[in-house]
Chain A
């Protein structure tokens, strides 16, 4: 009834090309932003921040990054965990090397370092594609994790082999270290997510995003019509790794505080983020957010239900969670290969006609 474009006249090209062409959608977007910035920080507590909100925001950044590479450019990567590790360690080295500079720049710097590493491991994509490439990115995953484990320079020769985030502040509010408030962590991640999602959305609908999609849909045809595959693939790797690196940096510095590389950035992390974009929807920014929310909430809900309510042992609940996640992925691939984002699109189409569908 409210959700329709009738009467909402576009009088300029800018109006016509906007991300949310329907007025109701625009309003909803601003309301979500207002709630995220104006309400949640005041009511959030430690449990909600560390169990739901902060991991959701960080995984959403990583999922957008992977979605750029896999969903938009069609290059399947199983090395996300390794690239997150690059972001985390780069952030750590920058934080300890230049303690006077604001942490925001460290996180951004970590993103740029990861982008460089991503381009390096993206080079083989010019020769190989499909499964071969997917497996080749595993080389990045295993090699990087091994590197951060074995070369003491990366963890500043600490005895435990772990890296620990020292306390850093933004506007005199601590955002890393043990004295950080829940709302500060939340705000730090939220700002990064909102800015990065905005960047991603606008990149993917511009020239560069179109060249990615051309490569994804058919690389040879794209090359013939003048898309430079070298440029398209390597920019996709660079931008994707930049996002993933920032997610890794935040994951280490803001969320966990102390990281052991094999545990935090193992192969399972790569798969987890891949699942987020499959369930959420390949080639969709909203899908990345939805997938991240889904896979962050699912374990929390299952754990509360099975362990909290039914009193099952935790290991049993963990196994059941594996089964449910695996089963859900198959169900999604069969029922709706384009994920939650497609369900959302269908719902919106239906809403436009509601309540008179004929």
Chain B
């Protein structure tokens, strides 16, 4: 097989893996949008916050150490323990649930019945708030996240493809794990929303807030639930991206990468988020591979957006989104 084709195949595979990670973030958006009609810009910062909290808990950092030191002139840093990954993850899930309760209590409750665009802007405010809070709680330096996920080049795939094509593909083991976890997450979320009592309530709220309220579904509980799930999805995404490239501010920018995914897949469709993620992942990697060198590279920053933009001109509701019908 010619070299170019092999490279392109490798690039495609890597693009698929990256796409899975985009899809993970997009999934969090879709969940909240379906259940509450809120376009949650803070999803990326939620992932950053979750990852920061995870690292902080695992390393036994004292929250707000920097602030305490600045006010009281003390020199505190660590509690001096080192938690195993699984305990830290469980604790972080707890923190994310608390955060979901706080968000419902302090923000959403007061903004019922507001226009969607106001809610969207409130989540931008939330994103800034959480970003500052995360930095103040745990410090803004780049942290290493290690919860025991496998990393590095996958030797099996390298050896197998070397056997087949005479050229070993470079694929990160972490990406494979991420793909498996994302698949599991999507399956369990689908099962949850289709077959559990809470899942049904969630779909009812998504369909019609007022009708759901009138048959006795607690809107507030559903919101807490949905934000907790979104927090959990954010945690998973945060772990994946954090393990890959360290926990730092740029983690919150993956939310921006997830937006074109959403536009492509439609804001209301879980399969759309997955397919959109894969298309964007492969598309931007192939574009960078094929066209990038001609125009100076770094096309990944905008390719996804322009693709989504052009796509929307022809199909405004996205691939799987519901057709928008408007009446005066």
Residues in A lying within 8 Å of B, measured CB to CB: 76, 124, 127-128, 130-132, 134-136, 138-139, 142-143, 145-146, 149-151, 218, 220-221, 224, 267, 271, 274-275, 278, 310, 312-313, 315-316, 319-330, 333-334, 337
The chain B residue with its CB closest to the CB of A131 is B39
Output the least CB separation between A163 and chain B (Å): 17
If A324-B132, A327-B125 are given as contacts, then 8 extra A-B residue pairs at C-beta distance below 8 Å, sorted by A number, are: A76-B120, A132-B316, A274-B121, A320-B136, A323-B129, A329-B128, A330-B122, A330-B126
Does the CB pair B136–A131 fall under 8 Å?
Answer: no
In the assembled complex, B267 has its CB within 8 A of some CB on chain A: yes
B327 — which chain A residues lie within 8 A by C-beta? 220
> In the complex, what distance in Å separates the CA atom of A135 from the CA atom of B120?
12
Q: How large is the interface on B (under 10, 10 to 19, 20 to 34, 35 or more residues)?
A: 35 or more
SS class of chain A's interface: helix, strand, loop or mixed?
helix
In the assembled complex, B215 has its CB within 8 A of some CB on chain A: no
List residues 255-285 of chain B with CB under 8 A from any CB of chain A.
256, 259-260, 262-263, 267
Does the CB pair B298–A150 fall under 8 Å?
Answer: yes
Does the CB pair B129–A330 fall under 8 Å?
Answer: yes
Chain A to chain B contacts (Cβ below 8 Å), 20 pairs: A124-B313, A132-B318, A136-B305, A136-B312, A139-B309, A143-B306, A151-B296, A220-B327, A274-B124, A315-B135, A319-B132, A322-B128, A324-B132, A326-B125, A326-B127, A326-B131, A326-B132, A329-B124, A330-B125, A337-B118
Output the least CB separation between B271 and chain A (Å): 19
Most A C-beta atoms less than 10 A away, residue of B124, B263, B309, B312? B309
The chain A residue with its CB closest to the CB of B253 is A267
In the assembled complex, B152 has its CB within 8 A of some CB on chain A: no
B5 — which chain A residues lie within 8 A by C-beta? none
Does the CB pair B132–A322 fall under 8 Å?
Answer: yes
Does the CB pair B305–A138 fall under 8 Å?
Answer: yes
The chain B residue with its CB closest to the CB of A262 is B301
Residues in B lying within 8 Å of A, measured CB to CB: 39, 66-67, 70, 106-107, 110-111, 114, 116-118, 120-122, 124-133, 135-136, 140, 256, 259-260, 262-263, 267, 295-299, 301-302, 305-306, 308-309, 312-313, 316, 318, 326-328
Residue of B118, B136, B318 near A333 (CB, 8 A) is B118
Residue of B130, B256, B309 near A124 (CB, 8 A) is B309
Does the CB pair B305–A334 fall under 8 Å?
Answer: no
Residue of A127, A143, A278 near B302 (CB, 8 A) is A143
Known pairs A150-B298, A312-B70, A329-B122; A127 contacts B128 (CB<8 A): no
Residue of A136, A224, A320 near B328 (CB, 8 A) is A224
Does the CB pair A136–B263 fall under 8 Å?
Answer: yes
Known pairs A224-B328, A323-B133; A337 contacts B305 (CB<8 A): no
> In the complex, what distance in Å separates the CA atom of A285 from the CA atom of B227?
36
Does the CB pair A150–B129 fall under 8 Å?
Answer: no
Does the CB pair B295–A135 fall under 8 Å?
Answer: no
B110 — which chain A residues lie within 8 A by C-beta? 334
Does the CB pair B313–A271 fall under 8 Å?
Answer: no
Output the least CB separation between B120 and chain A (Å): 7
Does the CB pair A271–B328 fall under 8 Å?
Answer: no
